[in-house]
Structure 1
């Protein structure tokens, strides 16, 4: 398949964490590379001896239901069709998965982790950090491909996660539009901040994530791949001390600017929940939502469904094979 065909095929899978269609995605695109599942649900592959860089993305999406979907391509962006039943495109983060599968094929050295269940709490990465931190011994930088837009090298995930010196040494090997960005919030590499000196996240070209209006800039994604398969890790500057006491939170600023943070952004429903947990809880209580109702909605078992109900159209059933 061509690059475009592969990306479209990846985006045809709706991938709630632990779903059958997420596993179909893994079997089709990740397992053939030789990756193996660890006991936390992550898929892991190592290239080279004693790698010092961890490259990552995550296999799950925020789709409301599992199954398959059609997508549209207009020559620049991949989006959902206007009449799609799907809740999002899922470029967050099929785009990142595509990047690192391409790096694996190019034999770029590193420890590669396709993380489990990032969208519901960074479950796979948290398990590594909390239960098997020794697996990251020797890792000097952890870089995720899980950021919106086309120009961010993330230096902060609420707190500083990588030094500007590292960010600049990475940015220098990327398309010239990339710049240091302190407005990151959360992805899997944040879980490694106390273990790994330099933790960052790079823009992979999606916009309006977690919504039906999500779109993926394919040109950016392919261009970024072209740079990443030639990356020279020996040029990375490692400065940050992961054991150092964190400085005041960049996003903890509450003075001025209408009481908001200097860099704080509320662009998605997830952002609002993240920044305003007490207010969201009060709103739900006022709406009559109980703890048990919310707990069951988030953690309750999925209803069993026939495979036929997983597809938008009959012709998409072929994707399951």
Structure 2
């Protein structure tokens, strides 16, 4: 099932479709489906496995929208049409569902949780706790905006984080998702992490999906089987979460699990010149540039990119431009930019 098809289902329809798809892989997976909870898929004969978490509802479901989104596709960039009646595109979290289904099709020895009603407080994942086994090594969320964030919630393991940092993810601070909900209440003390899956501006009509970013996380998870199934990653302490650097680039919006870009009144980013030499601040500017290009998609970002004379530019702008350019390179060179549309 491609990402466009996934965007056109409501929560109930998608749940039925996922059960139909996964039933084709009963030779490899066991399946539990619980009304009001979700669909739990576990690999047969595997001693240890991470639980990969995604959710089936969108803001359209919660607002009882009956219309299907009118979708615009431009290269690797998906958005709502200007006259679409929907509240959002639905990339949150159909991008995560797409990745999970592709991993199932590849018969990877991961477990998968497709949960109902995450958007109203993790109702489905809380209900499905009773069906979890003792084999889980980590909770891996597929429910984060952007292209390269690995969000933490206070249920962390430094080794687990380092596995993703080595693959280009940057640490971010989240507030809630199904993976963190389960890490909070699961008795075995297993850590969680939540990965970017390529959507932006979620919960709004301006939501977009970058297919390159979505497939990047898919490709990385395909490459991490041995590491993620090797042993449990146990919660260490709350220090990583509490001490996480918070850049002035971001602010929390409505308590949701996503960080939104902050712009000054003049259209430029707010910035404190005293932080010029702060390597963490420069790293955040690099991340901002990277995600800005990913949010726009290759064609739009390429059209806006031009060769500045950076000789006199401030350090923050050079870092921002470097991230922007790297995202353009990734979108141009990634081998799987159109896979999700096939």
CA–CA separation in structure 2 for the residues paired with 1:105 and 1:23: 22
The counterpart of 2:212, out of the listed 204, 219, 226, is: 219
Distance in 2, Cα, partners of 1:188 & 1:211: 21
CA shift, 1:270, in A, is: 4.6
Given the alignment of the two structures, is residue 25 of structure 1 paired with residue 9 of structure 2, yes or no? Answer: no
Q: Equivalent residues in 2 for 1:266-281 (5 A)?
A: 266=251, 268-271=253-256
SS in 2 for 1:53: strand
The 3 A distance-change label for structure 1 pair 74 and 119 is: same
Match of 2:197 in 1: 204
SS of 2:141's equivalent in the other structure is strand
Deviations 1:119-157, CA, capped at 9 Å, x for gaps: 00001112234xx2x724121211010000000122x22
Conserved 8 A contact 1:102-1:229: no
Q: Secondary structure at the match of 1:193?
A: helix
In structure 1, the partner of 2:132 is 135
Q: Report whether the alignment pairs 1:51 with 2:36.
A: no
Cα 1:231–1:249 shift into 2, 3 Å: closer
Aligned CA distance change for structure 1 residues 211 and 32 (closer, same or farther; 3 Å):
same
CA distance in 2, matches of 1:212, 1:44: 31
Alignment of 1:229 onto 2:212? no
Give the aligned partner of residue 148 of structure 2. 151
Query: Which string of whole-angstrom CA distances, capped at 9 and with x for unpartnered residues, describes residues 205-241 of structure 1?
Result: 1110111100000111123222322322336786864
| Structure 1 equivalent of residue 175 of structure 2 | 185
Count of residue correspondences: 243
**Structure 1 residue 247, shift from structure 2 partner:** 5.0
- Answer whether contact 1:44 1:111 (CA < 8 A) is retained: yes
- Which residue is 1:42 aligned to? 38
SS in 2 for 1:10: helix
2:1 corresponds to 1:12: no
Unaligned runs of 5+ residues in structure 2 are 24-30, 260-342
TM, length-normalised to structure 1: 0.67
- Residue-by-residue CA offset, 1:95-137 (whole Å, 9 max, x unaligned): 00000000000011022110111100001112234xx2x7241
Residues in 2 aligned to 1:107 and 1:140: alpha-carbon distance in whole angstroms: 18
Please tell me whether the aligned partners of residues 206 and 214 of structure 1 are also in contact (alpha carbons under 8 angstroms): yes
Q: 194-203 vs 109-118, which deviates more?
A: 194-203
Give CA-to-partner distance per residue, 1:18-57, whole Å, 9 cap, x none: xxx3221222344321244125421111123233211110
Q: Secondary structure at the match of 1:85?
A: coil
- Whether the aligned pair in 1 keeps the contact of 2:175 and 2:255 (CA below 8 Å) is no
